[in-house]
Structure 1
Amino acid sequence: MGQHDTTANLAGSQQFLTFSLSGEMFGVGILTVKEIIEYGSVTEIPMVPAFICGVINLRGAVVPVIDLAARFGNTPTIPSRRTCIIILEIRHEDSCQTLGVLVDSVSAVLDIPSSEIEPPPAFGARIRADFIVGMGKVDGHFVILLDIERVLSVDEIATLASLGEHDNIDTTSVSTL
């Protein structure tokens, strides 16, 4: 089964953390979510892709923060009172990377049965089809279920991993939440 098999991932019922971003509802598998924190001061890092906001100090660890709206090619998020950072744990082969994603607001944790999950649309979505694992139907509305490992692809994870390894990042200047 070397191929990416989304149907195997959708067997039974799954829990998703849902959030709002640029007026649309998205969901990520709850198993990747470590915690949700209020938006705080993010220290900008020069010469990184535009969708990387910077880093935060999370209990002494340097955690890169991704602006999902910018990652999807939309205008960058303008932080508001409800803006949150979802702390995710992304696994790749035998390594694990902790990172944050900036979202407009967090909604709820939902159980979505596999019978209520449609395959991703072949066209018409505002984001790349390979970023979408499925479309969950909840109360007559669709929630775009993200394949977060693809959204933050191996190349981006490598870039993010190198951020945490640079000795020239002064973690004392990164604001504490």
Structure 2
Amino acid sequence: MTPRLLTLSLLIFAVAALRLLPHWPNFTPVAALALFAGAHLDDRRLAFLVPFAALLISDWVIGFYSGMAFVYAGFAVSVLIGFALRRRRTVSRVAAGTLAGALAFFLLSNFGSWWVMGLYPKTGEGLMAAYVAGIPFLRNAMAGDALYVVLLFGGFWLAERRFVWLRVKAGEGAGTRVLGQS
């Protein structure tokens, strides 16, 4: 394992551990770390595996729930959006990716709560009620995503500038292509 991959993995697991601390509903780092993993981990399988392993471990501690598949699918969308950020991680692209990920998570997780939890009638009105009930959670998720994206992307960007060994990707020697440069 390269120092870069080890650093990224430790950073992702440390942020995921924050999910276990008391927090406002949906104000967690999980979507931000999924976006970050998609944007930074070279191995696409690891980009899914690392945040999902962290999510599964925290769910094991917190408790499993119906609708988990929809929640995980929402985070998978953030990993996929992260893939689109790999070549160019500008502030505006990361911000747009953060917003898109939050909206995808909102749509999928609230659809899941409507579909599997039995809280709403299986009608169009019931689905709309599920989405309306989820709006306060969307606000919290967007605020949490924004904070944690700034911490992850900004913190790692600063660390890459300070520590040369973080800039070197697997299979490349020092002095070759630097992340973010073509």
Question: Structure 2-normalised TM-score?
Answer: 0.29
Going by fraction, where is strand more abundant, 1 or 2?
1
TM-score (norm 1): 0.29
Structure number with higher helix proportion: 2
